[in-house]
Structure 1
Amino acid sequence: MTATQKEQLKRVLKPIHLWAIAVSLVISGEYFGWNLGWKYAGTIGFFIASVVVTVMYITFIFSYTELTTSIPHAGGAFAYAYRALGPFGGLVAGYATLIDFLFATPAIAFGLGAYLHFLNPEIPVLYSALFFNVVFIIINILGVKESAMFSLIITLLAVAELLIYLGIVAPHFKAANFLNHPMPSGWTGIFPALPYAVWFYLAIEGVAMVAEEVKDPKRNIPRGYISGLATLIFLAFGVMIFTGGITDWRKLSELDYPLPEAISIVLGKASSLTKIFASIGLFGLIASFHGTILASSRQVFAMARSGYLPGWLSAINHKFKTPHRAIIAGGFISFIALYTGTTGDVVIISVMGAIVMYMMSMISLFILRKKEPKLERPFVAPFFPVFPAIALAISAIVLVTMIWFYAKLSLIFFGGLAIAVLIFILMGKHKLKLVEEFMISPAK
């Protein structure tokens, strides 16, 4: 028995922790990034895009939860696709999930740097982003229960701040501002804005990455997912609508700190409340930043444990019971992205990984329903096959849209996938059958 097999992830997470992880993974999407979609679609066009994407996430999460509770594995979609589609399916899903979380982390780091720069223009965006990377790599290594408690506290603060924000700006909302240039590019502008609507919810699927660390996962995971999604839908639409009615929305459509800027318009930049709000706003970004590091490290750990990445990445720290090498490796990728990309580019690549992963997951769900009808399913996707079909169809539309409007970034994403497949074949990994628990069907 190897050291990795001897060491097990600790089952310490409860429903409140899962809610915190689900919301913390995503909540930075309410603070920045989504507003970049305004420049393509306008306020009403982006509202429509957000409704479409919200429908996709509702149907996806209710379907995905069936997979998560049936196969509670740290690899998430990688494990589901391997079991349904075999080695190549696992590779595609695993690659997509890695891109999803590994690139979400530097995108959020850019947002953190921008918020600090808003507070103090002398603080460089890049260096503060790198600083946060180092700090939260250390926090995640110290232990998952400690990380989850940190997520809970920081998430409660972030949600409270968004509620306070809505309370401050709501009296200043003007429908005329929101309806000004509502769809500047017509209906076609909705399509390139779709990825930025995805940013409202991207990474909620990361709860699956801690499935092996959840107490009673078959009961608690659905609670975490559903309560988290409900919270995020309310906050997303509240922030989007009220922010769009504060001023000419075009002034906010290219900023990495739209909420502090909106508050400064309402209260004045010299107001101490503006500075306080921007300072507290860091909580939301920190919550997501911390959560994406947690989720991405578990994906690296699971794929390394299964032989899809170098085995040494699956090592578990003896003292803290966390995958420390996987956490550090993810931080290294984040450093590279911070030095080479921009916020918009990193967001698009992260969304592309997420969308491919969603599609692979829904395909896996359909196949497993036929392939393993007797698989224990503690949570059954409602309205099957309608819900997963809707999630799959909308995901496919978003993917085609991104390939069309963001061709260069698409080449980078699919070029990386092609290289991964080539290496996979040359190393003969596609010929090896995994015997790891959850990854194979029970003996007939």
Structure 2
Amino acid sequence: MSAGKTELAKSLNVFHLWGLAVGLVISGEYFGWSYGWESAGTLGFLITTIVVAVMYTAFIFSFTELTAAIPRAGGPFAYARRAFGPVGGAIAGFATLIEFLFAPPAIALAIGSYLNVQFPGLDPKTAALGAYVIFVALNIAGVKVAATFELLVTLLAVFELLVFMGVVSPAFSLANFTAGGWGGSDTFSVATIGGIFAAIPFAIWFFLAIEGVALAAEEARDPHRTIPRAYIAGILTLVVLAFGVMIFAAGSGDWTQLSNLNDPLPQAMIRVVGEGSGWTHMLVWLGLFGLIASFHGIIMGYARQIFALSRAGFLPEVFSALHPRFQTPHVATIAGGIVGVAAIYSDSLISVAGQSLTATIVTMAVFGALVMYIMSMLSLFKLRKSEPGLERPWRAPLFPVLPAIALGLACLAMAAMIIYNFEIFVLFAVLVAIGTGATWLRTRGQVHDPLQD
């Protein structure tokens, strides 16, 4: 397949990219994170979230150097391949692919749960299936159309989170927030430390997938300038929203009633203003925009990841085909959708670690993210040494300290995740090993990206 048939159109400006950076993640403010309260409590989870926020802030300020210097579809896959060759690229590429394939099913189930609040007779899985059909089609329709839609729903989702905090703020009480805040106890103990570590995947869910902007970097206008601006503004936006939502939700009443729900924000608002309140109905409907923004954005991300792996020879060539009219990776988009729908209907996943289906899928996605973060920071250090002359429009501040903080915290989080989710880790490791091994056997290392040079 010629380079001309595999080059993506450049049509995304800095506002599109900011919308993508925030939109990819913002569903994490609407659901998923509250599962961390069960093991850590509100105070323990606050500590976990602070550490994770530091990790992500350090990571983004460092990761942006790679994204601006190597604006390629596939993002971390391209960086690791350039730094460590085909094997390094395969590990980073398939880990990222797992992250972006497993995050959408969890979000789709949350969309179903939100709709179930308004329509109790609607099966959440049926709604999730419908979401896949609609947004796979929208992503195929064109990247500029998809990114403009993403920006719009992201702005609505941010507005709704601010409305939520404003509406529940009169009911906020520090006593509510701290009651049983150390894993169900009012006092800190050694057992609390375990809960803090066990809650790591749910704190990561607050920020998971912001790195997805890198997967669409090839479609950005003037990426050396627009990507750093979008990334930095995006991470600052998300940090403020994450802490605001978590603190106000917990302080508005009995937080234990929200710790195992896919729709904690509507339920928190219901107990403050009542089920029949217009505020509650608005939150449910506009809250869907937050879930849709992430769901839609991550579909865009996994499609570019599959496309990039295929174009380089790591996956079958058919996945790098572009739609003849819209010039979008339509085969990759549909293929990822099929995997996501299969995950939604695979209830046997619940038995992997005795978790809910949503919690299991979230954990699998987090494993993919952490491996990608580690490989990306290692790539940053390696390329600083092996390619000192590489043009770097953005350079990681406080190098090497800031990237080292990101790398160290990612390794710590990975170790804790393995300890507390070993069975899911084994499944994740097997999937990455199969992908990497199959690629190597099929290509014998002779892979080539026509746009790599």
| TM-score bracket for this pair, using the shorter chain length | over 0.9
Deviation at 1:121, TM superposition (A): 1.3
Distance 1:275 1:435, change over 3 A: closer
2:202 to 196, 200, 203: 196
Amino acid paired to 2:216: V
Any runs of at least 4 consecutive aligned residues in structure 1 with deviations exceeding 2 A, and if so which?
A: 2-8, 270-273, 433-438
2:435 matched to which residue of 1? 420
Report the CA distance between 1:9 and its aligned residue: 1.2
Partner of residue 171, structure 1: 170
Structure-2 residue corresponding to 1:54: 53
**Residue 66 of structure 1 aligns with which residue?**
65
Which of 228, 234, 242 pairs up with 2:234?
A: 228
Percent identity reads 51
Deviation for aligned residue 1:436: 3.2
Aligned partners of 1:252 and 1:261 also within 8 Å: yes
1:436 is matched with which residue?
Answer: 450
1:56-95 aligned within 5 A: 56-95=55-94
- Is residue 345 of structure 1 aligned with residue 360 of structure 2? yes
Displacement of 1:435 in angstroms is: 5.4
The 8 Å contact of residues 308 and 429 in structure 1, kept in 2 or not, is answered as no
Is the contact made by 2:69 and 2:390 (CA closer than 8 Å) also made in structure 1?
yes
Q: Deviations over 1:307-350 (max 9, x none)?
A: 00010100111211111111001101101111114100000000
Find 1:380's aligned residue among 365, 374, 395: 395
State whether structure 2 residue 302 is matched by structure 1 residue 302. no
Question: Mind listing any 5+ residue stretches in structure 1 that lack a counterpart?
Answer: none
Mind listing any 5+ residue stretches in structure 2 that lack a counterpart? 184-190, 350-356
Quick check: 1:109–1:132 contact (8 Å CA) kept in 2?
yes
CA distance in 1, matches of 2:147, 2:443: 38
Which residue, 285, 296, 311 being the options, matches 2:317? Answer: 311
**Which residue, out of 396, 413, 417, partners 1:398?**
413
The CA distance in 1 between the partners of 2:256 and 2:42, in whole Å, is 9
Distance change (3 Å), C-alpha of 1:178 and 1:287: same
Partner of residue 258, structure 2: 252
TM-superposed deviation, 1:171: 1.2
Deviation of 1:50 after TM superposition, in Å, equals 0.4
**Alpha-carbon separation, structure 1, partners of 2:294 and 2:82:** 30
Contact 2:313 2:443 in 1 (8 A): no
Match of 1:181 in 2: 180
SS in 1 for 2:425: helix
Q: Which amino acid aligns with 1:303?
A: L
Q: TM-score, normalised by structure 1?
A: 0.97
Give, in whole Å, the separation in 2 of the partners of 1:379 and 1:359.
20
1:208-230 Cα distance to aligned partner (Å, 9 max, x none): 01111111000000011011111
What's the secondary structure of 1:86's corresponding residue?
A: helix
Matches within 5 A, 1:268-279: 268-279=274-285
Determine whether 1:287 maps to 2:293: yes
Match of 1:320 among 317, 320, 326: 326
Match of 1:410 in 2: 425
- CA distance in 2 between counterparts of 1:251 and 1:377 reads 49
1:4-15 matches, within 5 Å, as: 5-15=4-14
Tell me how many residue pairs correspond in the alignment: 437
Q: Secondary structure at the match of 1:427?
A: helix
C-alpha separation in 2, matches of 1:355 and 1:34: 17
Matched with 2:188 is: none
1:123 maps to 122
| AA of the residue aligned to 2:448 | L
- Contact 2:312–2:447 (8 Å) recurs in 1: no
What secondary structure sits across from 1:437 in the alignment?
Answer: coil
Q: CA deviation at 1:433?
A: 4.8
Structure 2 Cα separation of the partners of residues 171 and 284 of structure 1? 24
Contact 1:4 1:316 in 2 (8 A): no
TM-score relative to the length of structure 2: 0.95
Is structure 2 residue 247 aligned with structure 1 residue 241?
Answer: yes
Q: Residue 186 of structure 2 corresponds to which residue in structure 1?
A: none
